[in-house]
Chains A and B, each alone.
Chain A
């Protein structure tokens, strides 16, 4: 089976060629594209939704959109990854609205941090990641989107603007605001953590 075969190290074909192969019914084109982009798409969904369940579901839906209507992608409007991010962003929004009452924000993240062997023993770092994660998820959607795209997915403002469908200036100002909010939230959580630590020390002394 093609899915079981390891992907070749060097991928000579461009996205356009792979997409053309896929449209002609060649499985190899689809598998190459999937293996190339599944991780960034999944990570984007996970970072923006905070739920492993939603991230997996949305990743599947995003690639299904590509399977059903590959002709909708216009190479002139940007790289394929940004197109997939755009679809995923829309689907995450829809799915979060639908699952707002039922989805826990905890699922999927513990395994992420636990998977890192160097982090496993570092409790302080785990706590710090948890704080960052909570702070990102607590941001309003428009700020969360740009912080995930620019800071975590390493897109430029221009690329982020094409995903979020707004001007570069808007992305810049949202990013600035998002950073301010994040700094404030992280400061608060550190203070809260310090207070909790002091309280535990006092309890032990008593």
Chain B
């Protein structure tokens, strides 16, 4: 056996099972013992290791009676009782339910948020639909304006939408604009007739066909006593004078 092999065996000496094997004497360990008789260096190393083992064993025995204070058991017992009360109380069950319902509540909030967002995004569409009313009581239909303003002359499908029409949606229901006397009801102010470019309608939430941006639109604007615009009624449109 070489010193290297011996060191490998020595490495295992610290293992409890290893040291038992050492004393019981298997063939490998017998050879190791023979090696210690031949090699003084390895013999001294073995002696050092055994000395350390003895010292550690004595140290372990000296500290074997160490135990925590008796108060610790009482403290822990009190904590155990408290824990038992907490787990048996309905409050604890309630907290379990709360924990279980948390993801559901979070999901609900997300869904509501998405619904609100989609509604909010749909508002411009609503705005586009506004103003396509019949003119029985004197109000003006915007689709008529669009039809007259269209360079091709043919009537649009009832809205000013410039984007791609959404599939599966029926014809837009025209919304009636109130007549001037209805607008002014209950509000102090004045109505001013103005002419403005079609592109300015975008600021009112009404999208305009790109071909119609060079047109001008005549509208009645209702202002309150503070000069704030409270309503607008489209009267007609005409192409800009060249």
Contact = CB atoms under 8 A, between A and B. Distances in A.
Given A25-B84, A186-B52, A59 B72 contact: yes
A155 B14 CA distance: 11
A47 B63 contact: yes
B41 to A, nearest CB: 14
Q: Which of under 10, 10 to 19, 20 to 34, or 35 or more describes the interface residues of B?
A: 35 or more
B83 interface: yes
Interface stretch (A92-100, A171-179, A192-200): A171-179
Contact of B64 (A2, A30, A43, A129): A43
A119 B11 contact: no
Interface in A95-153: 112-113, 115-116, 119, 125, 128-129, 132-133, 147, 150-152
Contacts of B52: 179, 182-183, 186
B75 A179 contact: no
Interface string B29-53: 0000000000000000000110011
A34 B55 CA distance: 30
Nearest to A153: B60
B79 interface: yes
Contacts of B55: 128, 132, 186
A38 B14 contact: no
Contacts of A60: 68, 72, 75-76
B116 interface: no
Contacts of A182: 52
A179 B77 contact: no
B241 interface: no
Q: Shortest 7 CB-CB distances between A and B: which pairs?
A: A42-B68, A25-B84, A151-B56, A176-B11, A132-B59, A175-B14, A39-B67
Interface of A: 2-3, 22, 25, 27, 30-31, 34-35, 38-39, 42-43, 46-47, 55-56, 59-60, 63-64, 67-68, 112-113, 115-116, 119, 125, 128-129, 132-133, 147, 150-152, 154-157, 172-173, 175-176, 179, 182-183, 186
Interface of B: 11-12, 14-17, 48-49, 52-53, 55-56, 58-60, 62-69, 72-77, 79-81, 83-84, 87-88
Given A35-B73, A175-B14, 4 more contacts: A43-B66, A59-B68, A112-B65, A186-B52
